[in-house]
Amino acid sequence: MKELIRKFTQTAGPSGYESAVRNVIREELKSYASNIQVDTLGNLIVRVGEKNRNGLSILVAAHMDEIGVIVSHVEKNGLVRFSNIGTVFPRFLPGSRVVFLNGTRGVVNNEKPEDITKIPKFEKFFIDVGAASDKDCPVKIGDLAVFEGEFADYGLNIVSKALDNRAACALLIETIKQIKTTPHELIFVFSTQEEVGSRGALTAAFGIEADLGFALDVTPASHILGTKMQCDLGKGPAIKVRDVNFISDPGVVNWMIDGAKKIRVPYQLEILDVGSTDARSIQMTRSGIASGALSIPCRYVHSPSEMINMNDYQNMIALMVRLLTNPVSLG
**Residue 158 corresponds to which amino acid?**
I
Answer for which of 253, 298, 301, 307 binds other proteins (CB under 8 A) is 253
Where does this chain touch other proteins (CB under 8 A) — which range of 63-71, 117-125, 243-251, 304-312?
Answer: 243-251
Q: SS3 for 191?
A: strand
Q: SS3 for 18?
A: coil
Shortest distance, position 239 Cβ to other proteins, whole Å: 9
Residue 283 is a binding residue for other proteins (CB under 8 A): yes
Say how far apart CA 13 and CA 226 lie, in whole Å: 32
Answer for which of 38, 101, 271, 318 binds other proteins (CB under 8 A) is 271
Radius of gyration (C-alpha) of the chain in whole angstroms: 20
Residue 255 is a binding residue for other proteins (CB under 8 A): no
- What sign results for the dihedral spanned by CA atoms 310, 315, 318, 323? negative
> Which positions are catalytic?
194
Residue 130 is a binding residue for other proteins (CB under 8 A): no
Q: At what angle do helices 163-178 and 19-29 cross, to 10 degrees?
A: 20
> Binding marks (x or -) toward other proteins, 32..71, rule CB under 8 A?
----------------------------------------
Residue 229 is a binding residue for other proteins (CB under 8 A): yes
How many Cβ atoms from other residues are within 10 Å of residue 273's Cβ?
Answer: 12
The secondary structure element, H or E, covering residue 107 is strand 105-110
Shortest distance, position 17 Cβ to other proteins, whole Å: 27
Contact positions vs other proteins (CB under 8 A): 228-230, 241-242, 244-250, 253, 268-271, 273, 280, 283-284, 286-290
